[in-house]
Homo-oligomer: A and B are copies of this chain.
């Protein structure tokens, strides 16, 4: 099993994979092979090849139809090469002055389209809404396990390491809250303590007032570029209604979120010519364990999605110091994205 190790200075957990790789693994060819092999127009995630994958955990199809049959819109299967495994206990222990635990968790692969070459945003609103419903269903299910502290929904599209071309995202349930999220929770808590208001609600008000970073607005959501972006053309989607957990959205909001995510993804792809990108759902930690610790969480955190196109490599300087440098102002980025009219 992979191992989680705690950085003794920063307090963050990192994963060390078992079957440690030699230097040759990182040479260009090795890394590229898996990617090249997966080119083509069909793969095991395509409609009709359901028997070639591990049995599905969940699928979005008409009620009454059999599992692992071809009539589905979205399908969820265990990740073939999981970072976290559901079996076993955490085995937290000290190693000299250090701390480690087993990588117990869950790692699911969400297949977002029956078609290899058509992502959900191009299949129309009902497909996109089915994807959002799948996210909601799996997050709601996994949060019942009190061993899981955080549920990470993310998509990495078009990167070299990305094994599969078939439209998909991943859901990881972790036994620790990742440091990137912890910093955000703490920052939001500090702001709430000082102002007695949610920082995200204040951001929404400020952005609606100034308007210069708005990408799109719908009845229930706002898409805007952040005032201090990590990356050029990064944008966020925030629900206007204060709500700490994504899975608490109602059906109207689900439909509206599908609309704004679908439209802004298409705008981004159009204006940046189909860039590699990631998106990540920022939602409250699992509220079932440690209720006392997160007692104000309902008030001070506000779920949202961050969409990050990968346009330029980050220097070691930028990412290790978190002193990000962006060559396009978020005001200009919003202007380009807002104006984009994809076909």
Contact = CB atoms under 8 A, between A and B. Distances in A.
Contacts of A172: 317
B8 A191 contact: yes
**Which of A203, A308, A328, A331 neighbours the largest number of chain B CB atoms within 10 Å of its CB?**
A328
A31 B275 CA distance: 14
Copies per complex of this chain: 2
A273 B300 CA distance: 49
Contacts of A272: 23, 26
A16 B326 contact: yes
A207 to B, nearest CB: 9
Nearest to A7: B228
A60 interface: no
Interface string A302-316: 000010101111111
A17 B336 contact: no
B20 A328 contact: yes
B8 A227 contact: yes
Interface in A308-342: 308, 310-317, 319-332, 336
Contact of A10 (B183, B315, B329): B183
A321 B227 contact: no
Interface stretch (A49-57, A72-80, A156-164): A156-164
A25 B233 CA distance: 12
B20 A332 contact: yes
A321 B152 contact: yes
A315 B8 contact: no
A20 B95 CA distance: 49
A280 interface: yes
Interface residues of A, number: 92
A313 B156 CA distance: 12
Interface stretch (A120-128, A174-182, A257-265, A286-294): A174-182
Given A14-B325, A23-B272, A98-B227, 8 more contacts: A9-B184, A9-B200, A14-B324, A20-B327, A22-B336, A97-B203, A156-B317, A178-B323
27 contacts: A8-B187, A8-B202, A9-B188, A10-B183, A10-B187, A12-B228, A12-B323, A15-B324, A16-B228, A20-B327, A20-B328, A23-B233, A25-B327, A96-B206, A96-B210, A98-B227, A154-B316, A161-B313, A174-B323, A179-B323, A180-B321, A278-B315, A278-B320, A279-B316, A280-B321, A306-B320, A314-B319
Interface of A: 5-17, 20-23, 25-27, 31, 83, 95-98, 152, 154, 156, 159-162, 170, 172, 174, 178-181, 183-184, 187-188, 191, 199-200, 202-203, 206, 209-210, 226-230, 232-233, 271-273, 275, 277-280, 306, 308, 310-317, 319-332, 336
